[in-house]
Structure 1
Amino acid sequence: MQFERLSYEEFLKSKVRLAASDGFTISDDEVNPALKPHNRLMVKWLVEGGRRACFASFGLHKTVTQLETLRIVLTRTGGRALIVAPLGVRQEFARDAVEILGWDAPPKFIRSIEEAGETGIYITNYETIREGKLDPRKFVAVSLDEASILRGSGGSKTFREFMAYLTGDAGPNGNRRGTEVVEYIFIATATPAPNDYIELLCYAAILRIMDISQAKTRFFKRDSTKADVLTLHQHKEEEFWLWVASWALFVNRPSDLTGNANDDEGYIMPPLDVRWHEIPSDHTKAGTEKNGQFKMYAETAIGLQGAATEKRNSLNARVNKMLELRNEDLSAHRIIWHDLEKERNEIEKLLPECKTVFGSQPLDIRESIIRDFSTGNLQELAGKPSMIGSGTNLQKYCAWSIYLGIGFKFNDFIQSLHRTLRFGQVSKSVRADIIYTEAERKVRKDLERKWTQHNKMVEKMIEINKKYGLSQAAMAQILTRKMGVERVEIKGEKYQIVNNDNVKELPRFETNSIGLIITSIPFATQYEYSPNYADYGHTENTREFFEQMDYSTPEAFRVLMPGRIAAIHVKDRIIPGGLSGLGFQTVYPFHLDVIQHYTKHGFAYIGMKTIVTDVVRENAQTYRLGWTEQCKDGSKMGVGMPEYLLLFRKPPSDTSNAYADIPVFKDKPLQQMADGSTRKFVDKTKEPIVPGTGYSRARWQFDAHGFTRSSGDRLMSSSEIARLEPDAIFKLFRDYSLNTTWNFEHIVKIAESLEVIGKLPPGFMLLQPQSWTDEVWTDITRMMTLNASQWSQGKEMHLCPMQFDTADRVILQMSNPGDKVLDYFGGLMTVAVRAIKHGRYGIGVELNPEYFTDGAHYCKAEEHKASIPSLFDVLEVEGAA
């Protein structure tokens, strides 16, 4: 049975990644009418998705939403369902199940499968599953309440265990539980990603929406030395949030879902009164430097170890401040949040009427204390945010929290704050007093930064909900509009370049019309060169990348003359230790897959030219070849990564002599005869050759060798030039202006691009029209000195952009004058430019409009023999500065 390949349009649409719906379609009347309108919509969306997250704000009834979701799932599947909740929360489920949903009995709390029946909804805590006492795979559906407890992409035991149970993923420590997984999974929390995007990716992995490493590659720039340092690609921002919205529901207030402002009655969050209290640090306990010298001041940018020391040193001062604040209203109900056991001991000693909750207490006692406080029977409660800061409703009698200290964990802080800052808060405002020391100013700053980031993320998702509703079809329609580009063609006497998808452009060329193909192909999953789904870098994995190549490579084979060469420029790829799962960097031999791909489509592989690279520069990018690391462990380093020029040949029509249908012919050099005349070289004579004539034996030896070097000089994109400081831009533009045909509109475009990124100074004209006469001075300006490191900080997205000398040697050796030379991943049109320079006809196809525009200018400049700024020009400008 022959596999029928998707059409190219269908293939591109398949690259749109929104979460699949794997649940049940239900009608509105199947949902308990006791639920509020927004909760009924949430339940319907969760059930129909099958594996979904509910990121509703504090007090929007996630408890009843989870209970009703599981009830409806069990009506279709039978069996049993499990709610996993943090300490002190099961009473909320018990009360809501009976008082709101009208159940005859609350869900039963269990610690082992033996305590459960064959059907029904049960509840347990995270510790039970983490310690292996209860296997969630024994349940049809599982709902994780306050799932922010799972935070951390593998760093916590809780996350690793749940990944192993729910997804079958072995995780970093190999905790595989077999192939069996939980079919229906739901997640609920009000703080889905308070610290970083990585937490959202964890939820996606738990729900089996997308693997963490896959999502990192698809949406984020990465720090190769720190796997979880993520920066969202600017052009992927909309797609990322639409993807998240396809499996996660963000709700701040009921009207976000219902669209009816009247539904917000009773759901207005009370104002928050945050009061920061800075305690002077004891600088006599500042400690010592590494060299043993005493520090003059306590650190103001401390890490975890320093923070613990600072907390111990400042304990008495912080406790005294707490007592001072408490004395403002001794009758008030109050929560005192703390982190250290010594802090708890001080609270118990000074405030005997305050009940404390701690880990070694029996579970029943802990829950009894929390219940007494939530019902108003206890006036003061003390505990750690990490223990009782999630899930509990403490707002009915309490509107005041005192934080005895400050910490790095924003999730614990924001969760604890919202135990009282919730809908249904009886007080007109909620007060939070936060005590910290002078040395902890940076900790406070980081806390405030994360708080702002959290609010922005929630606002972004609410905006998407309002714009698209809960329709995945509407979201997918937006993304599919980004497929392909409007074709633009620019021709000169010696070149033709096209802004288009090469899969759609290559069929336009005549069969057997191209004399040489030379290109640097992109990389699977490494970079995306444009926000277009036709972008080859916009792939989830290597398999999908080569699937897209399967549409273009047969056309490249068709258009190439029989017997001629396709020279493919590639480089292997470094896999960071965080992605390899091994803890150290490995190498993906990309060039091997490229060889297999091209030979599969009819090309004959005839050799590989290895282009050596600068190991020092490479180490600056990957940090894997460092001298210091080699001294620590010589087994870790590996070797430098060369580039490769893979040579493929299209078989000639006549294979009897192996010559191309139209051979690439070279004249041998002239010989200098004794009488002063010259003649074509004859092998048997010993007369010297005339230097610079014909194709010499010396040049042949270098061409035939398997190794080569490159100067590294190449074309510059306007965005790369824009990263320079004004002084360097001015000098580069001066030389360009004096040697290039003046193009007013192009110059304005450059200036406008610089203005957008803030590089066009308001105080002087950066791009001054230059004069050819010495009577007019235009080379004097007043600027800051160029920062010589600025260029080195810029990262070109392609790992091995085509260099001038590489293109030159291939063009001169493997094509005839007048041949059409094609680069169907044209980029800045380096190949087309060098083809023009050497008397060929340059052809380039490029998807990215910005690269195409820059390339069009370079081709025109080369055709008119004008000056073109290159990488070496920039480095020369830097050196002059």
Structure 2
Amino acid sequence: MDNYKAFLESKIVVAENFGTKIDPAILSPKLLSHQKVIVPWCIEGGRRAIFASFGLGKSMMQLEIAKQVIAITGKPFLICMPLAVVGEFRRDNEFLETGYPVHYITDTDEANVAEMAVYLTNYERIRKGDIDPSVFGGVSFDEASILRNLKTETTNYVLHYFKQIPYRFVATATPTPNDFIEILNYADYLGVIDRGHALTRFFQRDSTKAGHLTLYENKKEEFWKWVATWAVFINKPSDLGFDDHGYDLPKLNLHEKEVTNINLDVITNKKGDIVMFKDTTKSLIDVSREKSESVDLRVDTAFDIVQENGKHDNWILWHHLEAERVEIEKKFKSSPHHDDLQSVFGSQTNDEKERLLIDFSEGKYQILSTKPKIAGSGCNLQHHCHKMIFVGIDFKFNDFIQAIHRTYRFGQTNEVDVWVIHTQNEREVLKTLKEKWSKHIELQTEMINLVREYGLNSSKIKSDMKRQLFNSRRSATVAGATVYNEDTTIIHQEMPDNHTDMILTSIPFGDHYEYSDNYNDFGHNYGNEGFFKQMDFLVPELHRTLKPGRVAAIHVKDRIRYSHQNGTCFTTIDDFSGDTVRCFRKHGFYLVGKITITTDVVRENNQTYRLTWGEQRKDATKMGVGLPEYVLLFRKAPTEMNNAYADDPVVKKIDEYLLSLWQLDAHAYWKSSGDRFLSFDELSKADMKYVFNKWKSFDASTVYNFQEHLRVCDDLDKTGKLSKLFMTIPPTSNSDMVWTDINRMNTLNANQANRKREKHICPLQLDIIDRLIYRFTNEGDLVDDPFGGLFSTAHQSLKLNRKAVSAELNPNYYDDGLFYLKALEYKLSVPTLFDMLSA
């Protein structure tokens, strides 16, 4: 028990320390109080994120971290940043007096690696692979928006190569609410957790839509506590207990300016079809088209706003299209008040962009026109500007909020005014931006509360998280079933030797799902390896408690590994069933059989997108096949080895198990009668229920012909009756080793749905349970299900006049399963008319 408890506590996820502890006294005296506690925490952690609000000195902290890491590693330090921020770092380094020079490089060859210096580069150089990370002792990503999307070339390069660097840091404002994926990408880059592990641990998968993830409601607290062990969120110094003097933000005034864009041309949708009204939904194509059609209208409106609200003030005009930039220059430079407008755009040299942005930050000209993706990150423009206009908007919230905070940041002495220009057809875009802003504030609040509660004390967080070990046992006995709400390993440790007559269960499929919100959950592990480490505590107990010679029937399925999990560009399969066999054999069981249960390949593809018809036509080599499920049959050796019989054999009476039934079970090979399946004309007129039943009868009674099967599917497709949601006419089997006649809706989950209760994630079908129980037990035997779920096994055991014992960790599953057992007990105990006559 002590070893098992220690194992469970080892599953508590907190970020390890990968760095070196330093004396805060050696830090620069020019650092502010909050910076003096964040920097040592980062260096001791070695791989940490600074999510600090705009104006809290992220560049100062990164430069001090660089100074300390250079001294520790004896290697230069690299800071990657947006191009426009280079000047900020140079100025801050002069102020901080780090003692190390700062050099901007476009290629590693430009760096004198023997010189201890801070090297700056931009993300374009990272993207092109010009920077060799191996020469640096540490790296920091400033405004690391490139890691927001795993599919980008830059992100792939960073995750593959920059993990070589021992000291790794991220410094950016609060991450954007992009389904939390951005935070996971930062964690992956820093090496504090594997992204796949984090996805499984904290996020609920949508089985009907691949890639759609939501944070488990019961995992929110644990998720944010885990993040707080490797990332510090801070909005102002008081979040870490320091004085906020000088850190009061002014008022932010958001002005929504809607303009009417009337187009008298024929209106078409994104497919080119003529429609009556424009599509005002979230279609990117329609948003882009609307922006292109309304450039003149929006630029004219921006000009009027400047004239009416301070034509002598400094302004930033944010835009997204080159056509907008051209029109802005044309409109504003023709006015005598605004002829000093300067544009910063992509084709300019890096030096020219940097010069223009620094000049504006120092108030040397009045109006800056640029794109958020060029100057929206890192620039400090608050000293001479407090007014801006979004001449156009799009769905990119991160660009939007970053651009606002170029002037709305600590050090700003005026109220900040932001105008957002949009057409009547872009209301949905604005609505989406405001919803993301609300979620952004929610995310900040969650993390700031944790920082205020725990500070930067990861040990305190870990101690608090230990409370999530399960300690609320319940139990009940219903008819002949005893069920527990408890960790199954603990229950089986308490069971006597040679106690059960059969083990029948569907084990968790590794760390694919978590069924409960505590660390005892077998799904709460890191990969298959972690899962089977926990199984190593349970399986010996299953072997010990099973009677000699009896069978353990274990329901499993192999696991899909996506490209981001396996390090390839294609999907592979984990041999989870093989790992299960190895685990059970290691602990004394003997494998005596495998039953294959086919699954619906069309439904599987809708959940995984790995077997798509379109990709099959592009390149069949990347496509596998659908994954069946298996029931693995294990046996505990009998006490006596002079024959193969169990100590307590499962005996079938001759009048119950007929020779004819045995022959059909053992070898169900049926010759063809010459009958055939329906023709195309017959199919086009037939009801699909009738078609399915006729196919099932035909396929089971004839020698299988693949070409005939394909022909029928093709004919159904031509009639529009081949479903894309499920396999319309699946192959059937005549062998007891492959069961294709399972009613996959026949589970206690069907009742769960009717009762509007939570579904069990991977239920075992009732008819499978019935067939296994009948085959491997006698009446009155005790059937053990270590992973009870809704107690389906116990339920069917009682129906078949057996007894049951089962454990389930999830309290909701336990309650619902107990309801079904009690309902069954009531049904079985109701006297019948014949009972009354007999009495």
Q: Give the TM-score normalised by structure 2.
A: 0.85
Task: Give the corresponding residue for 1:206.
Answer: 189
**C-alpha separation between the residues in 2 aligned to 1:129 and 1:850?**
49
The alpha carbon displacement at 1:806 in A equals 1.9
Letter matched to residue 706 of structure 1: M
**C-alpha separation between the residues in 2 aligned to 1:488 and 1:479?**
22
**C-alpha separation between the residues in 2 aligned to 1:305 and 1:416?**
23
Letter matched to residue 645 of structure 1: V
Which secondary structure does the structure 2 equivalent of 1:210 belong to? coil
Contact 2:789 2:814 in 1 (8 A): yes
Task: Give the corresponding residue for 1:454.
Answer: 440
**C-alpha separation between the residues in 1 aligned to 2:271 and 2:372?**
37
Which secondary structure does the structure 1 equivalent of 2:593 belong to? strand
Q: Structure 1 vs Structure 2: percent identity of aligned residues?
A: 44
RMSD of aligned residue pairs (Cα, Å): 2.6
- What are structure 1's unaligned runs of at least 5 residues? 168-180, 670-693, 724-753, 755-793, 869-881
**C-alpha separation between the residues in 2 aligned to 1:585 and 1:828?**
32
Task: Give the corresponding residue for 1:715.
Answer: 748
Letter matched to residue 322 of structure 2: E
The answer to whether 1:81 aligns with 2:77 is yes
Task: Give the corresponding residue for 1:185.
Answer: 168
Task: Give the corresponding residue for 2:149.
Answer: 152
Contact 1:485 1:847 in 2 (8 A): no
The alpha carbon displacement at 1:105 in A equals 7.1
Which of 299, 304, 308 matches 1:319?
299
**C-alpha separation between the residues in 1 aligned to 2:346 and 2:474?**
68
The answer to whether 1:826 aligns with 2:788 is yes
**C-alpha separation between the residues in 1 aligned to 2:282 and 2:808?**
49
Task: Give the corresponding residue for 2:248.
Answer: 268
Task: Give the corresponding residue for 1:689.
Answer: none
The answer to whether 1:557 aligns with 2:557 is no
**C-alpha separation between the residues in 1 aligned to 2:598 and 2:209?**
27
Contact 2:269 2:278 in 1 (8 A): no
The alpha carbon displacement at 1:108 in A equals 2.7
Task: Give the corresponding residue for 1:656.
Answer: 642
Task: Give the corresponding residue for 2:121.
Answer: 124
Letter matched to residue 863 of structure 1: E
Q: Which moved more, 1:380-389 or 1:852-861?
A: 852-861
Residues 511-544 of structure 1: per-residue CA shift (max 9 Å, x gap) = 1121111111111121110001111111220111
The alpha carbon displacement at 1:241 in A equals 1.1
Task: Give the corresponding residue for 2:766.
Answer: 804
- What are structure 2's unaligned runs of at least 5 residues? 334-338, 667-735, 831-839
Which of 226, 232, 241 matches 1:243?
226
Residues 486-520 of structure 1: per-residue CA shift (max 9 Å, x gap) = 32222245222122111111122221121111111
Task: Give the corresponding residue for 2:67.
Answer: 71
Alignment of 1:319-468 (within 5 A): 319-328=299-308, 329-350=310-331, 351=333, 352-427=339-414, 429-468=415-454
Contact 2:210 2:609 in 1 (8 A): no
Task: Give the corresponding residue for 1:738.
Answer: none
CA gap 1:362/1:22 in 2 versus in 1, 3 angstroms: same
Which of 139, 142, 156 matches 2:139?
142
The answer to whether 1:107 aligns with 2:102 is yes
Which secondary structure does the structure 1 equivalent of 2:264 belong to? helix
Contact 1:45 1:470 in 2 (8 A): yes
The alpha carbon displacement at 1:52 in A equals 0.6
CA gap 1:14/1:534 in 2 versus in 1, 3 angstroms: same
**C-alpha separation between the residues in 1 aligned to 2:658 and 2:798?**
23
CA gap 1:387/1:836 in 2 versus in 1, 3 angstroms: same
CA gap 1:581/1:296 in 2 versus in 1, 3 angstroms: farther
The alpha carbon displacement at 1:617 in A equals 5.1
CA gap 1:809/1:444 in 2 versus in 1, 3 angstroms: same
Contact 2:149 2:155 in 1 (8 A): yes
The alpha carbon displacement at 1:204 in A equals 0.9
Residues 47-67 of structure 1: per-residue CA shift (max 9 Å, x gap) = 111111100000001111111
Aligned length: 750
CA gap 1:230/1:292 in 2 versus in 1, 3 angstroms: closer
Residues 78-103 of structure 1: per-residue CA shift (max 9 Å, x gap) = 2221222212212222222223x245
Q: Which moved more, 1:220-229 or 1:543-552?
A: 220-229
**C-alpha separation between the residues in 2 aligned to 1:556 and 1:187?**
47
Task: Give the corresponding residue for 1:33.
Answer: 29
Letter matched to residue 325 of structure 2: R
Which of 44, 47, 50 matches 1:51?
47
CA gap 1:248/1:288 in 2 versus in 1, 3 angstroms: same
The alpha carbon displacement at 1:611 in A equals 2.8
Letter matched to residue 42 of structure 1: I
**C-alpha separation between the residues in 2 aligned to 1:272 and 1:568?**
61
Letter matched to residue 400 of structure 1: K
Contact 1:269 1:423 in 2 (8 A): yes
Letter matched to residue 163 of structure 1: L
Task: Give the corresponding residue for 1:502.
Answer: 488
Q: Which moved more, 1:631-640 or 1:649-658?
A: 631-640
The alpha carbon displacement at 1:473 in A equals 1.2
Letter matched to residue 364 of structure 2: N
**C-alpha separation between the residues in 1 aligned to 2:68 and 2:624?**
56
Letter matched to residue 184 of structure 1: Y
Residues 124-170 of structure 1: per-residue CA shift (max 9 Å, x gap) = 22223332333232111111111124321132x32222223212xxx
Contact 1:197 1:230 in 2 (8 A): no
Which secondary structure does the structure 2 equivalent of 1:18 belong to? coil
The alpha carbon displacement at 1:310 in A equals 1.8
CA gap 1:103/1:628 in 2 versus in 1, 3 angstroms: closer
Contact 1:51 1:184 in 2 (8 A): yes
Contact 2:470 2:519 in 1 (8 A): yes
CA gap 1:208/1:710 in 2 versus in 1, 3 angstroms: same
**C-alpha separation between the residues in 2 aligned to 1:291 and 1:400?**
39
Contact 1:84 1:125 in 2 (8 A): yes
Which secondary structure does the structure 1 equivalent of 2:40 belong to? helix
Contact 1:491 1:497 in 2 (8 A): yes
**C-alpha separation between the residues in 1 aligned to 2:524 and 2:513?**
8
Which secondary structure does the structure 1 equivalent of 2:448 belong to? helix
Contact 2:22 2:44 in 1 (8 A): yes
CA gap 1:710/1:213 in 2 versus in 1, 3 angstroms: same
Q: Which moved more, 1:639-648 or 1:468-477?
A: 639-648
Letter matched to residue 105 of structure 2: I
CA gap 1:496/1:224 in 2 versus in 1, 3 angstroms: closer
Q: Which moved more, 1:585-594 or 1:195-204?
A: 585-594
Letter matched to residue 51 of structure 1: R
Task: Give the corresponding residue for 1:744.
Answer: none
CA gap 1:209/1:154 in 2 versus in 1, 3 angstroms: farther
The alpha carbon displacement at 1:703 in A equals 4.4
Task: Give the corresponding residue for 2:590.
Answer: 604
CA gap 1:295/1:695 in 2 versus in 1, 3 angstroms: closer
Q: Which moved more, 1:298-307 or 1:135-144?
A: 298-307
Task: Give the corresponding residue for 1:279.
Answer: 259
Letter matched to residue 206 of structure 1: Y
Letter matched to residue 817 of structure 2: G
**C-alpha separation between the residues in 1 aligned to 2:800 and 2:288?**
68
Letter matched to residue 224 of structure 2: W
Letter matched to residue 822 of structure 2: K
Residues 535-572 of structure 1: per-residue CA shift (max 9 Å, x gap) = 11112201111111111111101111111111112233
